[in-house]
Each structure stands twice: as structure tokens, then as C-alpha cells.
Structure 1
């Protein structure tokens, strides 16, 4: 049996002290296999984004353990962790430095990790997300929301990670642009053998990208299920059934061209 890329056991995250302590995560366990896409779903405040922050060290663990490729992950995280694990944040308007050009944004992780041939890597990264070299010297305010999120994805992929953490990557975008970004992510995963952990409150988004799902409520795992079970309604808990009813159903969007092909720059 292959070693999981990520193995999280009994993760707990608590904020505050004494009677004001809040359990943001309580005894959450899961694994992520190479090339797998795992979805984390639940209502606002359920702990979805806290899982990603716990993985990256942005939210200190109060309990539990974390392994990457079978090796225990230390606190603070070491450089090799961030070579293997990268994150795309929710808001493309906030996640890019407003006074840096696209070239500077993409060059920064290469400089931090001392990776040579930066110009070649930057041009290749832009093409992989459907943008040409002409975007290198633009500033974020000169880009649309979809283009900014493509840059954020390029920044995450430029180090060639094994795992990409996606925190509501389409929620700040228009519906038509959401579909394009989801299709891009699906194509990139296939092209580079990536594993994803996707956080979303939108069941349609999760069913589009993920085979397996974890349902969270108030920091605890309620159910582990599949995208197929979402589609045919064969989920186990009343909470998940209520989420399905609230979503009003969904339709999967078909894939687009491979990531190396020109894509509409939205």
C-alpha cells in the first residue's frame, strides 16, 4: 500500500484560554493519497479553512500529529515542506502584492528556494495557466479577477509541489469565470499528477474536483463520503442531507482544453 502524501491524525486546534477556549478543530483525521483530490465541506465556521491553516502551520496544533510522505512534520515548518505543499487563497484581490508585478510575484518563491533559471520558469508557469509572457510586467490592478487567480495558481505551481491546498479558490469570482478556473485546476492536476485538498461550502465545486469528501461541523468530522454519493443522494447523515437540500442540486461542468493550450483570459 502506497504511503499517503499527507496523514493527519486527531488534529485539534484551540483558540483562547480558560472558559473562553474555542475548539476550532476537534479530533480530525484523514489521509491524502498521491494524485487524489479531497474536499472539505461544511457551513461557515465548521473548521474547513482551519484544517488548511493547521497543515501549513498558520494555526498551531493543540493536539494530534501530521506526516508528509510518511515523515513527521515539525513545527515550525521547514523549507522542504513548502516545496512539496503550496496553497491558493480565496481572494485573488488580497493574495497578490499590489505593488509587485506578475514577474516579481512569480520570482519570489524561486528566489526563496534558490531555484535557477527563473525567467524560463516564469514564462512556463504563465503558459500553464493560460496566460502569455505579455502578462509578466503587469500589476494586479491591471488584471481581472480570473486572471489574478490564474497568477495565484501559477505562483503555487512554480515550485512543482506535490500537494496544493485550495481555500475557496473560486468563491470571489463570477460564475462563468468559476467554471474556467475549476476546469483549469482539473487539467493541471491531471497534467502534473497533483494532489488537492479543496475547501468549499459549494457542493457543486467540490463534486467537480473531488472524488472523496469530508463533512465538517463545529470543528468535528460528521461524515466521510464521495462525490458519487452527493450526486445520487446516498449520504449517511441528516446534516449532509440538509446541505444537499440547501444547495438545490448541481450540475458538473465539462472539462476544457489542456492547460498548455490557450485559454480565454478572464
Structure 2
């Protein structure tokens, strides 16, 4: 997901994160909070926008079927005629279903001013070069996240009795979705509320041939270097302010 969206996934997605938090990534890629820009005496200005819904599903390796109450279930399904729910077929052990509703995207708007103060602290020995800052954050009012841990996984979710017969959404927490059947192994967050599932990071970049600046930090996931797509701000550009 990071390779295609430049966002990192929060683990777990129920862990509350905030813009301007400062921390490090551990060996498992989990962001651990050490401090915040405010605690370090650096003011933060933010802006938030709404994007409605977000759907990132491995369409080439996941099949999702919706069953309405009163319809005939598919062959082999444990759902009855009266049940409403969803059926999933995961072909790969790296398949993902990520659907989020009431999505809001926040970002820091004064990275230039923040960079100046961090570089001053860094030169004075008061800032850890390995510290990373949450510069963008996606929050979701409700989300369903399913990750297959094995290939050829089959999963069925059943809605509570009496739900409306109209269109069903995986992000609708009022459906009361529960696991009716599972063949294989998955990690699941079903219609969970108030999540912070995705974020982006910036930190100190100190290349050999150009000025030290605040920008995207390369991180390692499963042996692959992934560069986070955030516009850098360099010291030379700010020197005229």
C-alpha cells in the first residue's frame, strides 16, 4: 500500500495519532511516539479537508460479493435466504480490503517555519536526527480493513437481523457485521469507528552534496526502500526569508 499511495499504514489503526507528533519507526515499521512539535516548543499550523470515502482493495486478488436479505445465497455459502452480508475470496496472502467512510485528510501548513526551528535545534545538538514527524494524517469515521495471511482465503460476514434491504456498505457500523464463516487466516477490523489508518512522515535529510533539510525520509519495509512522497523544503530556499 505504501508503494502505491505513499501513505504508511498505522498499526494498529485504532492507535490514536496526531499531526505534529514526533517519533521513530521500529524494526517492524510501527511508529512509536517520543514527543511532539508542541512539546519541543515548535508551533504547528494545520488544515483539514474532507474526502468522503476511500477504497483501496487488491482488485486483482480479492473478490467481494454482497448478499441482500431475501436473495438466494451463493453455492456453498453459510448465509441463509434471510441473511444479508458479504462474501470475500482472497487469492493471495498479501490481499487487502481497505474501505473507509467519513474520511478527513489533515496536513501541516507551516513546514517552512518548522524546518528553520528544527535545523537550529539540530545544529545545537537538541534534536535527534532520526526523529520523524507526522506531516499528513487520514482519519476515518468508520472503516473496514481485512488483510489475508494466507492464500485462497474465504470469509463471510453476516449483518444483524432486520437491516434495510437497500445497498450495503462495509463501512456502515449500524449493520453489526460479524464473522459467519472463515476458511484460512485474516486480520480484521470490521466497521470500526474513529480510526487513524494512514499517515505520512517527514524528517531531517542530510545528503552529502546538498544542504540539510526537512523532507521525505526513506524507510525500509520488508527489505525494500520506499520513499515517502512529501515535497521537501530545503535550507537554501528559506535563507532569503
* TM-score between both structures, scaled by the size of structure 2: 0.20
Identify which of structures 1 and 2 has the higher relative contact order when contacts are C-alpha pairs closer than 8 Å and 6+ apart: 1
* TM-score between both structures, scaled by the size of structure 1: 0.19
> Which one has the largest radius of gyration?
2
* Higher normalized strand content (fraction of residues): 2
* Higher normalized helix content (fraction of residues): 1
